[in-house]
Structure 1
Amino acid sequence: MTASVTLKTLLAATALVAFPLAASAAGDAEAPDQNLRIQHHMMSIGKDGVQRESRYADLMFRRAGSVWVERELPPALREDHDHEAREGKVHIGHAHADNTAAPLWVRRDAAGKVQVGMVLREQRKLIDIDAANYGNVGYSGSWANSYWLVDPASLARMKDLGAAGKGVQRYELKQGEGTLRIDWDTAGRYARKIEQRNARGTSVNVMTASAIPAPKALPWKAIEAYERGDYSDLLD
Structure 2
Amino acid sequence: MSAEQTPGVLWRRAAALLAGAALSAAAHAAPAAKSAPELAPDLSLRLVHTSFSIGADGVTRESRYSDRMVRRGTVVWLERELPPALAEHAAPQHSGPHAGHAHEEANGAPLIVRRVGDEVQVQIVLRERKRVIDVEPAHQGNVGYGGSWPTAYWLIDPGALVRMERLGRQGDVERYRLRSAERVVLVDWDVRGQYARRIQQRDVHGLSRQELVAEKLPLPARAPWEALDGYGRGDYSDLLD
Structure 1 unaligned residues grouped into runs of 5+: none
Please give the secondary structure, in 1, of the residue aligned with 2:71.
strand
CA distance in 1, matches of 2:193, 2:52: 28
CA distance in 2, matches of 1:114, 1:3: 19
Q: 75, 79, 87: which one pairs with 1:78?
A: 87
Kept in 1, the 8 Å contact 2:114–2:120? The answer is: yes
> Which whole-Å deviations, capped at 9, do the CAs of 1:65-104 have from their partners, x for residues lacking one?
100000000111211222x1x4258969839935333100
Q: How far 1:13 sits from its partner (Å)?
A: 2.8
- Does residue 147 of the first structure (1) align with residue 153 of the second (2)? yes
Paired position in structure 1 for 2:94: 87
**Amino acid of the residue matched to residue 107 of structure 2?**
T
Kept in 1, the 8 Å contact 2:66–2:81? The answer is: yes
CA distance in 2, matches of 1:224, 1:28: 27
Q: How far 1:16 sits from its partner (Å)?
A: 3.0
Please give the secondary structure, in 2, of the residue aligned with 1:28.
coil
**Amino acid of the residue matched to residue 101 of structure 1?**
G
Paired position in structure 2 for 1:69: 78
Q: 220, 224, 228: which one pairs with 1:223?
A: 228
Paired position in structure 2 for 1:41: 50
Q: 209, 212, 236: which one pairs with 2:214?
A: 209
**Amino acid of the residue matched to residue 84 of structure 2?**
P
Paired position in structure 2 for 1:124: 130
> Which contiguous aligned blocks of 4+ residues in structure 1 show a shift greater than 2 angstroms?
1-5, 16-24, 86-101
Q: 1:4 to 1:61 in 2, by over 3 A?
A: farther
Q: 1:71 to 1:88 in 2, by over 3 A?
A: farther
| TM value normalised by structure 2 | 0.87
**Amino acid of the residue matched to residue 97 of structure 1?**
E
Paired position in structure 1 for 2:176: 171
Q: 1:225 to 1:205 in 2, by over 3 A?
A: same
Kept in 2, the 8 Å contact 1:92–1:234? The answer is: no
Paired position in structure 1 for 2:11: 6
The sequence identity of aligned pairs, in percent, is 45
Q: How far 1:112 sits from its partner (Å)?
A: 1.9
**Amino acid of the residue matched to residue 82 of structure 2?**
L
Paired position in structure 2 for 1:101: 108
Paired position in structure 1 for 2:41: 32
| TM value normalised by structure 1 | 0.89
**Amino acid of the residue matched to residue 35 of structure 1?**
S
Please give the secondary structure, in 2, of the residue aligned with 1:15.
helix
Paired position in structure 1 for 2:142: 136
Paired position in structure 1 for 2:197: 192
Instruction: Please provide the CA RMSD for this pair.
Output: 2.4
- Does residue 55 of the first structure (1) align with residue 64 of the second (2)? yes
Kept in 2, the 8 Å contact 1:43–1:205? The answer is: yes
> Which whole-Å deviations, capped at 9, do the CAs of 1:8-29 have from their partners, x for residues lacking one?
21341321343886644xx232
Structure 2 unaligned residues grouped into runs of 5+: none
Kept in 1, the 8 Å contact 2:188–2:198? The answer is: yes
> Which whole-Å deviations, capped at 9, do the CAs of 1:169-197 have from their partners, x for residues lacking one?
00000122110110000110000000000
